[in-house]
Amino acid sequence: MPAILPVIGFILGTPARRQNVVGQAIRASLLSTVFGNAYPLFMAGVASAFAALVAYWRLHAPWAAVWLLIDVSILVTRLLCIRAYARRHDSAGARHTDTWAARYAPLCLLATLTLGLGTMGCVISPDTQLSALAIMVTAGILGGIGSRNAAVPRLAIAQIALGAVPIGIGALIARRSGSWILLPPLVAYLGAMFSVVWRHYDGLLALMSAEQRHAELAARFDAALANMPHGLCTIDTFGKVVIANRRTAELFGARVEQLKLNLPLPEFIGHVGLAHFGPDLQKHLVERCAAWLHGERRALDLDLRDGRQLEMTRNPVPDGSAVIIIEDVTERRESEARILHLARHDPLTGLANRRELHDRLRRMLSTIPPSTVSRPAVFYLDLDGFKSVNDSLGHGAGDEVLTMVAARLRQTLREGELAARLGGDEFAIIVSDSTPLVVSTVARRIIRVVGRPYRLAAGKTVSIGTSIGIALSAPDDAVDELITRADEALYAAKQAGKGTFRVSPREGVLL
């Protein structure tokens, strides 16, 4: 703001009204309105110049010529100023609006003061027709100012006052009798115009404040939409995608420029997946998505060829549209799989734990027909000599031996068989399609494999063995009963001297 005209700072004030705060952006928008639409300003200048020209033509007074000259000069200067502001504003931005308004406001005030003084001269003159013309022109111009400059209310009020007050002074000093009668309507006119200015200002300020809040909200929404970790699509009541964020494209290996809106969701998904995965997967995505839209509202899992897994969920909106959330669930599914694996497997050896052994044996027993001759068997293993290794070399060496035992047991298994660690140095194996001859062969192989020496990381070599108890299942066996019989057979094997096995049918323990 120019320091040489401090009063201009007050006249160009944009006060807050009715809890509407005037920030820098809103103030710049309000001030910029005085430079907008130069056509009404030009027409007002023409009208004022016409009144000055008529005054000079009818009165031949020097002041009328001065009025005309000043009026035209100010009009041309204001139009040039508006043009220069528009050109500079496009390149410099809104921060210079205050400076330009400070330069422009004195021209506005001088123009209305010149108009008011010229009209005062017409009112003082004996020419009643000229007086009526000048008052009519002034009233119209001031009414336009009240509307055009309402965004800067103090400037508008100052202009209206500078244009109207001289008319009242002229009415008081005019020689014609009864000229004072102009004063009451002039006062009422001023009051009405001031009220109109403030009402227009309140409306403009409320509108701009609302627009700013909406713009800020839209900016936050756009930022949230662009930076959210999930893909988001909005489909209308016809099933066409009307909104899609950047993450949606990224999840399918595409660029945001490749998003094609106003397509049905299956075609939209197929199009965005085409660039990265080709036409084969595109067809698969379209078919899966179309079937999902017409089916249940459960989540849709999409397995991509790069190993990632996506999950699409549909969230209906009351107006019939829906919001589609697309999430990369690869890590979550892997974590769930790891948690499930840990819940059912021994953390040291990676073998199944007791829970997984029970569930697998239960499923196996429930699916075997009663008439089947070859049935599942449970092998219960206990390591011979493991305690001495653990005591002499430490638990680290013991864990190393257990891990190597588990690896050897895996190598002895056939397809469909399961090895489990039950705790400590106890293991179990489920062998399907077993007969007494089969379990005897498998048991001897296990004893031989487990009994081979173990080379530890510390360089030492240890040797252990194993004893095995075996329970062949019967058609009506329960899981716990079968495991208990295998444990009893193991006890018999230990009693027989270790490094051997025993088989337990339901009626007793046999070699």
**pLDDT digit string, tens, across residues 484-493:** 999 999 999 9
- Answer whether residue 497 shows pLDDT above 80: yes
Distances (CA, A) of 87 to 12, 24, 25: 22, 21, 19
- Per-residue pLDDT tens for 226-238? 788 888 889 998 8
| Residue 300, phi-psi category: left (phi > 0), alpha (psi -120 to 50), beta (remainder) | beta
- Per-residue pLDDT tens for 98-117? 888 888 999 999 999 999 99
Q: Has residue 178 been placed in a domain?
A: yes
Q: What is the DSSP string of 489-511?
A: HHHHHHHTTSS-EEEE-TT--B-
Residues 214 and 276 in one domain: no
- Per-residue pLDDT tens for 356-403? 999 999 988 888 876 666 788 999 999 999 999 988 999 999 999 999
Retrieve residue 395's tokens. Answer: 């638990």
Burial 263-296 (b: 16+ CB within 10 A, else e): bbbbbbbbbbbbebbeeebbebbbebbbebbeee
Q: Has residue 310 been placed in a domain?
A: yes
To the nearest 10°, the Cα dihedral for 408, 411, 413, 414?
-170
- Per-residue pLDDT tens for 263-290? 888 888 888 776 667 776 778 778 888 8
The pLDDT, as a whole number, for residue 511 is 43
Average pLDDT, the chain: 87
Work out how many domains the chain is built from and give that number: 3
Q: Has residue 461 been placed in a domain?
A: yes
Distance CA 151, CA 140 (A): 19
- Per-residue pLDDT tens for 299-322? 888 888 788 888 989 888 888 889
Q: Which domain holds residue 481?
A: 350-504
Q: Has residue 72 been placed in a domain?
A: yes
Residues 202 and 237 in one domain: no
Residues 365 and 307 in one domain: no
Residue where a domain stops, chosen among 279, 305, 332: 332
Residues 381 and 483 in one domain: yes
> Which residues have C-beta within 8 Å of that of residue 368, sequence separation ≥ 6?
375, 376, 473, 475
Residues 82 and 212 in one domain: yes
